[in-house]
Chain A
Amino acid sequence: MLQQKQKKTGRLIALAGCLLLLVLVVVLENTLNPQGMFFTVLKKSAVYTLVAVSMNLLNGFTGLFSLGQAGFMLLGAYTYAIFTLPAASKDSVYYLYGGSAIKFSLTDLFQGIFGSEGAGGMVALWLTVIVALILAGLVAALFSWLIGLPVLRLKSDYLAIATLGFAEIIRAIFTWDVLGPVTNGSTMIQGFPTFASFNIRLANGETFYLSSFVPVFFATVCVVIVVLLIHSTYGRAFKAIRDDEVAAEAMGINLAKHKMISFVISSFFAGVGGALFAMYINLAQARNYTTTLTYELLLIVVLGGIGSITGSCVGTFLYVAASEWWLRGLDEGTFLGISSPLFRTGFRMVVFSAVIMVVVLFFRKGIMGGRELPDLFRRRRRPAGKEARGK
């Protein structure tokens, strides 16, 4: 009884925390400089957080070592781009192929219903994006189901290399020029709704910024769903599989089914993440979804703490901010007031990779270990002696 009550208050606090975060983002973006570095990093972090969490669900909670994330992101990105690109710009985007084979566009559909201006336009935009994001997730999930059928029987590194191979195959197919009228071959698709499309021009000429709110909003919703999933019976089954497959099976958990569920759900969110990624970079192009991207995400997941959602969130922000923001001075000659001839272009990435090494060596279980945010508060209440004993 008491436990249930605690759980309920815990959930309320978490919900309030999420809402507060979203409100804070809107307020900050409209009071501070919306072109600031913070917001660019925030947008990218939101997108990466979602994908990292989806990867953590698979690698950290179910113990399936998969390296196919980039492939599923690619599927999501292309689905989103192809179905939201307005028909009017299809000819100019698919200029090498004389127009697109897919005439349908969600943007036109919803704008036809709600109009393209003012409040109606905003409704149309939100609906377009939400429907397209779900579609993106579904396409990725469908493909993951197909590939999951044969490869999920594989163990650890063999599964990793099979999923990595799958991502590479997908990338080759999407750049194949025979499919050009659909995928635009090697050329990028651009001109679909991006984060900046959500900014509202007010009557007085000012702009009401929502471009950071949107990615944070979608990422938060998805992460909350993942967290709920992890706390459900399914989540417990996932963790049981991770800890001991044989024991889990003995307890009556259907291994194949649960592995597939985890794989499909993870890919769904990777697909949504891929679509958001396309929105962030303003274009969809297959060559960006390489194994390097997957490694980067794996790095974030492990640095944040494998098996910790909070870790993935914190890890992403620190990773993105460090690589693209805080260390920039190292490329320009002056960093933290120190100038050195060593500081020329390229030095930033050298330092950054050294920082990664240091973090890995000193936080062998990642920044958060296996803990979540609430655990940090809970720990304080415990007697000091107990903490000292825990390694």
Chain B
Amino acid sequence: MKKLFALLLVLAMALSLAACGSTTSDNGNDSGNGGSGGNADSGGDAASGDKVIKIGMFEPSTGDSASGGQKEMLGMQYANSVCPTVTVGGEEYTVELIPADNGSVVEKASSAATQLINEGVSVVLGSYGSSVSMAAGPLFQQAGIPAIGVTCTNPQVTAGNDYYFRICFLDPFQGTVLANFAMDELGAAKAYCLGELGNEYDQGLISFFESAFTAAGGTVIKDTYPSQNSDFTSYLNKAKSEDVDVIFTPVSIAYSTQIVSQAATLGIDIPILGSDTLDDNKVLEAAEGTDVELYVSTFYQEGGDPEFDEGIKAYINSNSDALTANGGDDTISAVTAMGYDAYFVALEAIKAADSVDPADIQQALWDVTYDGVSGHIEFDDVNGDAVRDTAYIKMSDNAGGWILQTQQTVE
């Protein structure tokens, strides 16, 4: 009996293999628009008859960066609900968002990217996390599909890749801004830098922070913690006993929540300085009702666009999936605002290209300008990086909100 069952299963697998093989061959004739495994057909034909243009969301929805990835997608989905159509060549196209989960790990990035390519997306948005973007970058380049990085701040994402653009600022800029802020506004002379071991985002920012900070005469103590660490008390105690003036922790959301809440418990009164990842509702929640002095640099200034704030809050509250993705409350994270802007930048590019062809959109992207909720966006001519010379620095009011401290620029 068991043999029979085993045989049946193998047969089923073989059949499904064959089926997939044949759909793949269909793809060959009609590359770009076909489905990839039978399951993908849902995409194009869903809005039967209507013209559809697809935008890929290359984001992590599982794994370590799921938190940021889901919030970034939230912004795109909201943008899509605000503006679900685009006019190309006098015809109205429905924009369809296609998610592809890269699982926060580079080895799954390729297949997620391939899925988007096979779905026939015209432009890709994402990803949260630079390493996955870099793993998938060459694939988008070969397929000739432009990608717009939303919050991947590593310089190497766009370097040497004409198809990768980005709307956020870069690590060297952000590191310098934060070092200047620590020096000028907080009057710090000694900084404690804490980042995740092996994470290029943390360590890159810390390096840039260090070089700017020491160049201005400060001293830096650097520490790293292993991945999935949750005990930060020893690090914070060390910072305290070293008598530093500022703690710089440009770490991902899960760690920053721990750091902030543990700093509160330990009664640490040293200012904590974070990067764009800390501009997150979960971090705010951790700081709420405590005496922690928390500063973050960010792309987006809450209250800068009340209409957007109101709209997305209503969107999040009306949709239980969105509420889960945002962690159960309706405070807006910076990445959500950036996702929202990325969607409209893509739409602008499509309009400017007046075509659904990825190649035309890639050409058009170089000249796109757009004033989003996160400020003015345009791309430079070298790598396709956003021209941004301003970062907002905010401070937690420890009552669930941010107070804008300053706009910091670098010459």
Nearest chain A residue, comparing its CB with the CB of B195: A186
CB-CB under 8 A from B21, the residues of chain A are 38
Residues 120-135 of chain B, each 1 if its beta carbon lies under 8 Å from chain A, else 0? 0000000000010011
Residues 282-309 of chain A, each 1 if its beta carbon lies under 8 Å from chain B, else 0? 1101111010010000000000000000
A38 close to B20 (CB less than 8 A): yes
In the complex, what's the smallest C-beta–C-beta distance from A361 to chain B, in angstroms?
12
In the complex, what's the smallest C-beta–C-beta distance from A28 to chain B, in angstroms?
9
In the complex, identify which listed stretch (A1-9, A58-66, A250-258, A332-340) lies at the interface while the others stay far away.
Answer: A332-340
Given the known A-B contacts A92-B159, A188-B200, are A324 and B131 also in contact in the complex, defined by CB atoms under 8 Å? no
CB-CB under 8 A from A32, the residues of chain B are 24-25, 27-28
A281 close to B61 (CB less than 8 A): no
The answer to whether the Cβ of B4 comes within 8 Å of any Cβ in the partner chain is no
Residues 310-323 of chain A, each 1 if its beta carbon lies under 8 Å from chain B, else 0? 00000000101101
Nearest chain A residue, comparing its CB with the CB of B141: A196
Residues 340-352 of chain A, each 1 if its beta carbon lies under 8 Å from chain B, else 0? 0100111011000
In the complex, identify which listed stretch (A131-139, A169-177, A264-272) lies at the interface while the others stay far away.
Answer: A169-177
CB-CB under 8 A from B28, the residues of chain A are 31-33, 36
Cα of A177 to Cα of B42 in the assembled complex, Å = 47
Nearest chain A residue, comparing its CB with the CB of B34: A33
CB-CB under 8 A from B84, the residues of chain A are none
CB-CB under 8 A from B107, the residues of chain A are 44, 277, 280-281, 288, 293
A346 close to B36 (CB less than 8 A): no
Give residues of chain B (109-158) contacting chain A, Cβ–Cβ below 8 Å. Answer: 109-112, 114-115, 117-118, 131, 134-135, 137-139, 142-143, 154-156
CB-CB under 8 A from B143, the residues of chain A are 35
In the complex, what's the smallest C-beta–C-beta distance from B393 to chain A, in angstroms?
24
Q: How large is the interface on A (under 10, 10 to 19, 20 to 34, 35 or more residues)?
A: 35 or more
B109 close to A188 (CB less than 8 A): no
CB-CB under 8 A from B9, the residues of chain A are 362
Q: Which of A39, A172, A177, A335 contacts B39 (CB 8 A)?
A: A335
CB-CB under 8 A from B154, the residues of chain A are 187
The answer to whether the Cβ of A41 comes within 8 Å of any Cβ in the partner chain is yes
The answer to whether the Cβ of A371 comes within 8 Å of any Cβ in the partner chain is no
B156 close to A93 (CB less than 8 A): yes
In the complex, what's the smallest C-beta–C-beta distance from B155 to chain A, in angstroms?
7
A280 close to B110 (CB less than 8 A): yes
The answer to whether the Cβ of A331 comes within 8 Å of any Cβ in the partner chain is yes
A331 close to B20 (CB less than 8 A): no
In the complex, what's the smallest C-beta–C-beta distance from B194 to chain A, in angstroms?
13
In the complex, what's the smallest C-beta–C-beta distance from A182 to chain B, in angstroms?
15
Give residues of chain B (184-213) contacting chain A, Cβ–Cβ below 8 Å. Answer: 197-200, 202-204, 207
Nearest chain A residue, comparing its CB with the CB of B320: A341
Given the known A-B contacts A37-B114, A288-B106, are A283 and B131 also in contact in the complex, defined by CB atoms under 8 Å? yes
B36 close to A325 (CB less than 8 A): yes
A36 close to B42 (CB less than 8 A): no
A349 close to B134 (CB less than 8 A): no
CB-CB under 8 A from A285, the residues of chain B are 106, 131, 198, 200
Give residues of chain B (77-119) contacting chain A, Cβ–Cβ below 8 Å. Answer: 98-101, 103, 105-112, 114-115, 117-118
A282 close to B227 (CB less than 8 A): no
Q: Can you list 24 contacts pairing A with B, beta carbon distance less than 8 Å?
A: A33-B27, A37-B114, A39-B114, A41-B111, A92-B160, A93-B156, A95-B155, A96-B203, A96-B207, A186-B200, A186-B203, A187-B203, A190-B156, A194-B138, A281-B109, A282-B110, A282-B138, A321-B20, A328-B100, A329-B39, A332-B39, A345-B101, A346-B101, A362-B2
**B interface residues, Cβ below 8 angstroms from A:** 2, 5-6, 9-10, 13, 16, 20-21, 24-25, 27-28, 31, 34, 36-40, 42-43, 61-62, 66, 70, 73, 98-101, 103, 105-112, 114-115, 117-118, 131, 134-135, 137-139, 142-143, 154-156, 159-160, 197-200, 202-204, 207, 222, 224, 226-227, 321
Additional A-B contact list (12), CB under 8 Å, known A32-B24, A36-B24, A38-B21: A43-B110, A187-B156, A282-B134, A325-B20, A328-B40, A331-B61, A332-B42, A336-B39, A339-B42, A345-B101, A362-B9, A367-B10
Closest 9 CB pairs of A and B: A329-B39, A345-B61, A287-B198, A186-B203, A324-B111, A334-B42, A32-B28, A40-B114, A175-B198
